[in-house]
Chain A
């Protein structure tokens, strides 16, 4: 099956710094990638949808200047949390979808961000 990787799996940073998370589709080309955020014991919340070569579409309430998304190629999307604060600590999960995947998304393993 299709594989999506995320790097890093865990990151701890100081408040005020920026953190970049990479999401890669390893064996397929992802026309669309999604970024989700998951708080402890809660469901996934869609943050944004990105299509290769175009600007990401952010969900209501998600600050686009704080969560920068770049989908530079058909196999790579990055999420940068700028000027991170402790309340940004969360589990971030990406997913990728091909045009012919019948709406199925392939999920990455997630990145645990802890901001001190």
Chain B
């Protein structure tokens, strides 16, 4: 069965410190993987995507993610958090061009 798990419901960091948001997936197929960000009462914005090219994917706003097939993970990182990064982040997995599954989301809090 296909699934996606975001390991933390919320993460709190101080401004200027690194961010790590964890995502694991389960799939029988080669997945496409995405990270989206959602600010309060807003739609989703694509941060980055992995579609079987380079395993280290760079996205917008300084975010990047590494696809690790052996660990079935696609964790999102950023070297230095900014106050404007506070939002909800969703890991999304798409299988075979048909099914898209959203993770439960991780709320990122950034302290001044």
Pairing of A with B: yes
Partner of A108, one of B32, B36, B41, B43: B43
Report B-chain residues with C-beta under 8 Å of the C-beta of A105.
Answer: 94, 100
Would A43 and B102 count as touching, CB distance under 8 A? yes
Partner of B36, one of A45, A102, A107, A110: A107
Q: Which residue of B lies closest to A34 (CB)?
A: B100
Task: Say whether, besides A42-B105, A43-B103, A112 and B51 are in contact (CB < 8 Å).
Answer: no
Name 21 A/B residue pairs within 8 A (Cβ), A-sorted: A6-B43, A42-B105, A43-B90, A43-B104, A43-B105, A44-B44, A44-B102, A93-B44, A102-B51, A104-B32, A104-B34, A104-B49, A104-B94, A105-B100, A106-B46, A107-B43, A107-B46, A109-B42, A110-B41, A110-B42, A112-B41
In the assembled complex, A46 has its CB within 8 A of some CB on chain B = yes
In the assembled complex, A103 has its CB within 8 A of some CB on chain B = yes
**A25-50, CB under 8 A of B: which get 1 and which 0?**
00000000010000001111110000
Q: What secondary structure prevails in chain B residues at the interface with A?
A: strand
A interface residues, how many (CB within 8 angstroms)? 20
Would A110 and B43 count as touching, CB distance under 8 A? yes
Within 8 A of A (CB), among B69-112: 90, 94, 97, 100, 102-105, 107
Q: How far is the CB of B87 from chain A (nearest CB, A)?
A: 13
Q: Which residue of A lies closest to B9 (CB)?
A: A41
Complex: A108 Cα to B44 Cα, angstroms: 7
Q: Which residue of B lies closest to A104 (CB)?
A: B49
